[in-house]
Amino acid sequence: MAGVTSATFVNLVVGLMINWASIVVGFYSLYTIIINILPKYVIRDLENLLKETRGGCITTLEEGLFCGENNQGTYLQRLQEQEEEVSILVIRTYRANTLYKQFRELFGGLSWQIRRKYSEVRDLRDSITLAREEGKHLARSETRILSPLLLSTMRPRTFSPSPRSSMAHPVQQLHDLLASPSSRKSIILPYSPPMAVQSLALPQTPPECHKA
pLDDT at 21 exceeding the cut of 90: no
Q: Of how many residues is the chain composed?
A: 212
Chain segment 58-86, per-residue pLDDT in tens = 998 888 888 776 578 889 999 999 999 99
Domain segments of the chain as ranges: 38-151
Q: What is the pLDDT of residue 117?
A: 96
| pTM metric for this prediction | 0.57
Pick from 184, 167, 42, 46: which is nearest to 102 by CA?
A: 42
Yes or no: say if 45 and 118 are a contact pair by the CB < 8 Å rule.
yes
**Region of residue 162 (phi > 0: left; psi between -120 and 50: alpha; otherwise: beta):** beta
49 or 11: whose pLDDT is higher? 49
Q: 72: how many CB neighbours lie within 10 A of its CB?
A: 17
How many angstroms separate the CA atoms of 86 and 80, rounded?
10
* CA separation, residue 203 to residues 33, 193, 209, 211 (Å): 134, 16, 13, 17
Which sign, positive or negative, has the C-alpha torsion 199, 200, 202, 203? positive
